[in-house]
Chain A
């Protein structure tokens, strides 16, 4: 393979820049996943030592049946964060759409399917409101969704008169594990949603626009991308997924609680950040966010199973979140330092190696 002189010119050609970005993205993505899987593995082994019954099929089932709501919400949160926004309202939107689902079934006697449709549309309406206000009036989404956090929670309390709605066995088909499989339909749906969101973000033009809008909104707009519409859509999706999360939670608990999902936005942001998504936008992966969710869920279940006290739980959870992110950032710095050192030692050949690497069949 010969050296390409064009690569040494300071501004590389756009197509080549694109190529380089893509291959780099894939490589770091793979390494990140390995790092997170290692963290997950360490946690599982550690809890396996500490608890008598942690390494059991039952534990796996209980983790798997608890994560769907946070999984889909973290997927939505990833989209919003990559587009350069933030959605603090997901917990409250979850509570509001959940109690509407509960009221539709418990008080108005609706069947399951139309009740879920109503619940999801509530989520879409909340997301639309977030998106319209922040995108059209150019108000920071932090503020708009903080407002929605209060408003949606207030409506949830208002419509239920602050009472929990008990729905009972009628709703349990979605949230309870399927006999024989041990996994709830909610988990299967969540897997499908996460895969679609991952493909949407990494393999479609729309996904590229989302990344572009988050990386540099002005540049994206100048290159003809309607960034407002892109951002609006990410909020609508986040609202919809929060409502889907509420369906999972309500069906798992057989009741709808207006206090549900308090602090959920922070759990979702924690999971997404552990997954290496930048809070500043432009960079992130749905798949890695889901691994973040799994790390948090394993941590929660493990700590509860060993009977840790509340202060200990908080100390450890907080520590793991920060350490995971520190490790992630420093791993990147270390690998960058190693790469630049390598370049200093052998100024030409690494590029040649790299370009052979890039040329895939």
Chain B
């Protein structure tokens, strides 16, 4: 259902591409090996995680607007999977994009290990592959003997910024808890690590850390339990904004507003009003709308055989009531 949810009408693209391929074949057979003179636009396939997730929807939207501004330079096919755990579907999507003859695949892998073989197949088929958002595992890539450039936010540095902002409001020895994302997700691990570094260097104790699976309602339940277990709790650090909203409601229900601070990550639309109200202290913006665009631009460079750059990290900014008040 989400497969063709966004982007150009893929069926038309597919027909067009088949026509071009056929034309190319005829041209080749007719002219005995002279390259086809038809100037074809590169077709860039964006393979996303769940497009039902606000973050990836924003990312896809940014890519689509980028393509609309320069329709002459490339064609864009956007595909997503049903939910973040639907790995096999994402592998199938990569294979379908190989079969459709995409010139480049820009992929936000749902799993940093399971998608490596699919990306290797794409590279073997002569397709440029760029990794965005969630970094593919270095060991597995080395094992398979491939290198794929990565463009993505430095989640750890972003989380450290948020944690340091929070730490300024706390005293050494204060108790805090962390609500983690799904444990297998690399970005969640990085954020947790970033929060941890900031807390350790400020001498603040993390007394509990549990996963709420990125979800608001689960975060609400777990945060309520944590508030019950730790009467001295001073802050809840959440690895995304949905969980921050769930924790916020838990703090209100427990009647400890003002006593327990909350920070999030993602800068979603919903958290902004909570930050303006002062209910949530801070979040981090990783500029989701620009993330896929960076990946596409890198893919274009690679297609033009420019020097492949090393892994690049995109900016992550601290968002507070102060920064939101600025125009």
| B-binding residues in A (CB < 8 A) | 51-54, 56, 58-59, 61-62, 65-66, 150, 153-154, 157, 161-166, 168, 172, 175-177, 184, 249, 252-255, 257-262, 300-302, 304-307, 309-310
Contact = CB atoms under 8 A, between A and B. Distances in A.
A249 B53 contact: no
Given A162-B51, A252-B220, A300-B221, 9 more contacts: A168-B273, A168-B274, A252-B253, A257-B215, A257-B216, A260-B215, A301-B221, A301-B224, A304-B210
Given A162-B51, A176-B253, A305-B225, A257 B242 contact: yes
23 contacts: A53-B228, A54-B228, A54-B229, A56-B228, A62-B225, A66-B221, A163-B270, A164-B270, A166-B271, A166-B273, A175-B253, A177-B253, A252-B253, A253-B216, A253-B217, A253-B220, A257-B216, A259-B215, A260-B215, A262-B215, A300-B225, A309-B210, A310-B210
Nearest to B177: A307
- The 10 tightest CB contacts between A and B, nearest first, are A304-B225, A166-B270, A164-B270, A62-B224, A305-B225, A253-B249, A162-B57, A304-B222, A257-B216, A305-B229
Interface in B213-257: 213, 215-217, 220-222, 224-231, 241-242, 245-246, 248-250, 252-255
B contact face: mostly helix, strand, loop, or mixed:
helix
A77 to B, nearest CB: 18
A162 B255 CA distance: 30
Nearest to A304: B225
B52 A259 contact: yes
B216 A164 contact: yes
A155 B226 CA distance: 34
Interface residues of B, number: 43
B67 interface: no
A253 B245 contact: yes
Nearest to A165: B270
Contacts of A58: 227-228, 254
Contact of B216 (A51, A163, A176, A255): A255
Nearest to A309: B210
A110 to B, nearest CB: 17
A53 B248 CA distance: 21
Interface string B129-153: 0000000000000000000000000
Q: Looking at A172, A177, A184, A259, which has the most chain B CB atoms within 10 Å of its CB? A: A259
B224 A52 contact: no
Interface in B37-66: 51-54, 57
A310 B226 CA distance: 15
B253 A166 contact: no
B83 to A, nearest CB: 8
Nearest to A52: B229
A122 to B, nearest CB: 19
Contacts of B274: 166, 168
B54 A162 contact: yes
A66 B268 contact: no
Interface in B67-84: none
B306 interface: no
Contacts of A51: 229
B269 interface: yes
Contacts of B270: 163-166, 255
Contacts of B18: none
B215 A164 contact: no
Contact of A164 (B224, B225, B226, B245): B245
A310 B254 contact: no
B1 interface: yes
A255 B277 CA distance: 14
A161 B268 CA distance: 12
Nearest to A307: B208
Contacts of A307: 208, 210, 229
B216 A260 contact: yes
Contact of A310 (B183, B217, B252): B183
B211 interface: yes
A53 B229 contact: yes
Given A168-B277, A252-B253, A262-B215, A59 B228 contact: yes
Given A166-B270, A168-B273, A62 B254 contact: yes
A164 B220 CA distance: 15
A172 B279 CA distance: 14
Contacts of A56: 228
A183 B199 CA distance: 35
Interface string B250-287: 10111100000000000011110110010000000000
A118 B277 CA distance: 27
